[in-house]
């Protein structure tokens, strides 16, 4: 094994996720392929096996606990990068329909090859979230939309909330968030037919703090959103 099975099982249990032997083997393959591919294309600064387990895999599994996602739900990970949190959720949560978006195709080449070597099934789409949010096949189609470490909350909200079904949730995952970013983000929720549902601070296995903010979608988003990237960054909501 490349990663420590004991560490992975313990970290997953901290988020109430019980991993099968098959899932453990898949995480081991994931870590090996991530470190290999990272020699060619920069996907992550974290390459130590224990750190991959704690900072990437377990933190991604926190999504399962705090979002309450269950079999039959659809889910898109916006800006999946090296697959976080989308691929750990795909491995560990049975029966969830997983879509992975990223604006950079080189990263998705890694994800396509990984998902195929794990024998799993996901929609892997080279697209910017704010373009997907205008397309009928993606707009207001997902039960859950998440993004980890992608952009400031008010910008991220405009990328992500147009993709959420009415009644669904947007789940923002970050290392930490300032009070100002939070207040601006919550103001953006209301312009996008949504309201704050939960604000969770939790710790990963090494004691580092992480933040999840959840918005519930209560009504349709105005057709003027999402705007294009230039407008979003020039005048964030
Ligand atoms: N979510 C991963 C993680 O937690 O390790 C990757 C984080 S990385 C810092 C940000 C990723 O978001 C990059 O892969 C980038 O290409 C992608 N990204 C940024 N803005 C995006 C957008 N508007 N639509 C789709 N992907 C985007």
Is residue 1 domain-resident? no
Is residue 172 domain-resident? yes
| Mean pLDDT to the nearest integer, 4-9 | 98
Is residue 116 domain-resident? yes
Is residue 127 domain-resident? yes
Do residues 153 and 188 make contact, with C-beta atoms less than 8 angstroms apart? yes
Is residue 16 domain-resident? no
Q: Is the CB of 19 under 6 A from ligand 1?
A: no
Q: Is the CB of 60 under 6 A from ligand 1?
A: no
Q: For residue 110, report the distance from its CA to the centre of ligand 1, in Å.
A: 14
CA distance to 24, 37, 99, 105, 134, per residue, from 185 (Å):
36, 35, 24, 28, 21
In the chain, how many H helices and how many E strands?
10, 7
- Nearby residues of 187 by Cβ (< 8 Å), 6 or more positions away: 154, 237
Q: For residue 21, report the distance from its CA to the centre of ligand 1, in Å.
A: 30
The closest-lying atom of ligand 1 relative to the alpha carbon of residue 56 is: 5
Is residue 46 domain-resident? no
Asked if the model's pLDDT at residue 129 lies above 90, the reply is: yes
Q: What is the pLDDT of residues 93-126, one digit of tens each?
A: 999 999 999 999 999 999 999 999 999 999 999 9
Is residue 142 domain-resident? yes
| Mean pLDDT to the nearest integer, 53-67 | 98
**What is the pLDDT confidence band of residue 49, given thresholds at 50, 70 and 90?**
very high
How many separate domains does the chain show? 1
Distance CA 27, CA 3 (A): 8
Atom 12 of ligand 1: nearest residue by CA position: 79
Tokens at 40, concatenated: 């060619």
**What is the pLDDT confidence band of residue 227, given thresholds at 50, 70 and 90?**
very high
Here the CATH number for the domain that contains residue 111 is 3.40.50.150
Distance CA 17, CA 166 (A): 27
Q: Is the CB of 79 under 6 A from ligand 1?
A: yes
Is the CA virtual torsion 22, 20, 28, 30 positive or negative? Answer: positive
Domain interval for residue 170: 65-234
Asked, as a colleague might, if the bond just before 226 is cis with ω within 30 of 0, I would say yes
The closest-lying atom of ligand 1 relative to the alpha carbon of residue 127 is: 25
Q: For residue 79, report the distance from its CA to the centre of ligand 1, in Å.
A: 3
pLDDT, position 63: 98
Is residue 154 domain-resident? yes
Q: What is the pLDDT of residues 186-225, one digit of tens each?
A: 999 999 999 999 999 999 999 999 999 999 999 999 999 9
Do residues 78 and 150 make contact, with C-beta atoms less than 8 angstroms apart? yes
């Amino acid at each position: 094994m490349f990663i420590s099975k004991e560490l992975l099982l313990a970290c997953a249990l901290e988020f109430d996720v019980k991993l099968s032997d098959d899932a453990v083997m898949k995480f081991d393959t994931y870590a090996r392929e991530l470190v290999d591919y990272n020699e060619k294309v920069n996907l992550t600064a974290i390459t130590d096996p224990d750190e991959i387990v704690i900072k990437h895999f377990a933190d991604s599994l926190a999504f399962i606990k705090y979002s309450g996602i269950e079999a039959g739900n659809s889910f898109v990970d916006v800006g999946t990068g090296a697959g976080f949190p989308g691929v750990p959720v795909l491995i560990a949560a049975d029966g969830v329909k997983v879509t992975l978006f990223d604006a950079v195709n080189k990263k998705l080449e890694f994800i396509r090859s990984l998902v195929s070597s794990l024998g799993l099934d996901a929609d892997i789409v080279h697209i910017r979230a704010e373009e997907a949010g205008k397309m009928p096949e993606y707009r207001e189609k997902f039960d859950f939309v998440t993004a980890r470490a992608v952009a400031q909350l008010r910008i991220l909200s405009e990328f992500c909330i147009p993709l959420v079904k009415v009644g669904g949730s947007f789940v923002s995952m970050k290392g930490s968030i300032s009070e100002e970013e939070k207040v601006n983000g919550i103001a953006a929720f209301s312009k996008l037919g949504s309201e704050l549902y939960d604000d969770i601070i939790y710790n990963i296995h090494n004691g580092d703090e992480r933040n999840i903010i959840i918005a519930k979608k209560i009504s349709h988003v105005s057709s003027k959103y999402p705007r294009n990237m230039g407008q979003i960054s020039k005048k964030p909501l």
